[in-house]
Structure 1
Amino acid sequence: MQTQKARLHSCGPEYLFLFLFNQILSQIFSNLLSNKKTKSIVISSWFTICHSFVFCVRNGSPDVPKKVSPRAARPLKIAALEPESSSSPISATNRTPKDKSPKVLNRRSPRSPVSEKKRPSRITELELLVSQLQEELKKAKDQISVSETSKKQAEQEAEESRKQLQEVSSKLEESQNQFVETSALEEETDKTGSLVFQSVSQECDWEFSATAGERAGLAAVAHEIRQLKLQIEMVASSEAGHVKQAELYNSEVQLLRGNLMDTLFHVENFRNQLKDCEISEAETEALATETLRQLENAKKAVEELKSDGTKAVESYKKMAVELEQSKSRMVWLEALVNKLQNNPADLENHEILLKDYESLRRGESNEMDEEVSSLRCEVERLRAALEASDKKDQEGNVEASSRLRIQAELQSELKIAKSEIDELKARLMDKETELQFISEERDNFSMKLMKNQKEIDIEAELKKLREAIENLKADLMDKETELQIVSDENETLKSDIHKSETDVQDAFLKLGIAMEEADKSSKKAVRVTEQLEATQASNSEMETELRKLKVQSNQWRKAAEAATAMLSAGNNGKFAENYNQTNSPYSEDIDDELTKKKNGNVLKKIGVLWKKPQK
């Protein structure tokens, strides 16, 4: 590579430009040669370009010496025909010793100022070559377009040839019908016989004219058949182009099918993802509904617990107040009992005090009234107890024990209430944790909703992909329909070609048959003319004989009339009778003989005429 670069640097900018130009042309023509349609056009244009390029390089400018140009043109010609050899270092090393001769180096090494001045002219020549190459490329493109138009014209000519084939087939059918009619007419002439010889002569004349016209028509048909053969060859040549187009369409359809399979695979993946997303959405919705229901239940339970807690606190406060009141009452009652036990005379004073106490407690609430009434009952009970103090000391002890038991029960109930309050507090803590968990789930649910929005966007993209797939399917269907149309046209063209070949063969066979039938009809016409001439001759002979007989009969009549006139005067009728007796049978015999002869001759002639056509 370094030696090659050194050589390129040693050469002038002209050769560098030529080297780059050669590589660009090789790439362009390699791309064009990849297409089968433009291959022949590109090859022809390539040879013309190479020829013009070598010619220009050999001639060069008029001021440059001629010894340098052929040496510089040879490697360029090889590079134009083989562009890859110029870039390889092996070809640079494996050159002939002529290229390595000192003469060439001596010629290349010195650079005259004249050659340096003439370099722009060489560049202009190369630019002209580039413009020529561009024009030739345009011409090649024009030739490609012309070839496409010629293909279209060939298709139109094929359609016209089909129409002409149909017309020729219709003409052949008409000629067949005419031959059938002529054969029917010939059969009718054979049946009618000798009684219609004049009409037969007219029909024979018409047949002669018809056969002449048919021969001219058959010649025209043969000419048309030759033209159809040429058109069929053109159609067969155009079929090859159609087959190539069909192959190209098949390759395009296969590519589209591969693309469709890929898109369908992606669509199936998207569908599976959508199904998974829908399932996850349903699960999240179910979880959300459950969590909302649990939240509502938790809120209700919290509210109930709060109400229960408040009620429990209120009841606890009431119980504490009642306990304090009951304790104070117990203390007061114990003091009263002690006083009464010590001073039974103070009962009356105590009643007075109770009345005063009642008067003081009237302004209090209903609960205090109830307590006062209960105290009154207790006082009355205590009175009864005091009356029988000895008997009911034990009962007082029992009541004290019962009161102590009630106090113990109240204390146990307070403990139970405290434990329930602690449990309610624990439940409240649990519900708060559940609320935190539910809030976290709510956040997760919001995140899932965001994901669902993304999935909705994915669904929109999927819809777009489906629409694109449907468009691709529609394009595929159009391509398949076009392929089917092209294949059907090819099959119809093939069938039309086969039909046209068979029709041509049938036409030739029918022409041969028609020619044979025309020859037969001409022979029959000659026979009929001969028969007509014979009948005319026999008729002329019969006419001469009839004339002779008429003359003789007239003479015999005149003689008979004269004899009757002479004899009628002498014999008064006897001679006339004898004459009539002798004359009438003779005349009758003569008439009978004449009629027999006429009938015999006529019958003989008719028999001869009937026998001739049967032969």
Structure 2
Amino acid sequence: MPRSRGSELPQRASPRAPLHLKTTASSEANGAHHRLLVDRSSPKVADRHSPRSPLPEKKRAGTRVAELETKLGKVQDVEVEETKTMIEEDKKDSAAAIEGGEKENPEVVELKAQLIAKEMEVAVLTADNAELKKQADEAAAAVKRADEEAVAKAFLIEQELKENAAREARMGEQLRASEAAREALDAEMRRLRVQTEQWRKAAEAAAAVIGGDAHLVGHHGLAGNGSNGWGSPATMPDDGDDEGFGSKRKGAGIRMLGDLWKKKGSK
């Protein structure tokens, strides 16, 4: 346990003079000075003490006062010097005691060294923590940026997928519509081909019928003169009936085409 400074300071005797000596010297000086003043202020008293010659008495009194004042000044100077010396010695003793106390207490020195080491360790740890915190903040910021970029890319990809799906849906609808139109066109073309074939056959049949009638007319006309056939002069119409005979043949051909068309339609 460290000892107190007061106990470590050496006990030494004060070199100053005793208090009663100082008081006596001061009292004597003050009394002499007072007597001098009284002698100067009251000539009656001086005359009463020395009625014969006042000048030697005054001279002796002045000399006494000067001596006392000189002694008083010396005493005061000595006291001031002693006080200064004591103060300087006290300072030196205090410094020596402090130095001696530090030298005599290695525990304090060791504790100070440990404290300095701990402070340095704390400073190093604080710097390391600041660096680690900085790195962690940078890593967190990088991760946040990467997440934001990933989210943005995912959003763009999702939008592209949606657009592609919509485009594919539109293309599918267009393809289905084109297929339906193509099928309708094919059906219409088949119908037109069938109808064209039917019309062709009907036209051929009508042409055959019409051609057969003309052949029959010519054949009957050549069969014999004066006969009652179609080609005979008796049966042939006259010139005024040529127009009526042609219209009848046309009507017969049209009726034949209508019958053929009805038969084709019923089939």
Q: TM-score, normalised by structure 1?
A: 0.22
Greater C-alpha radius of gyration? 2
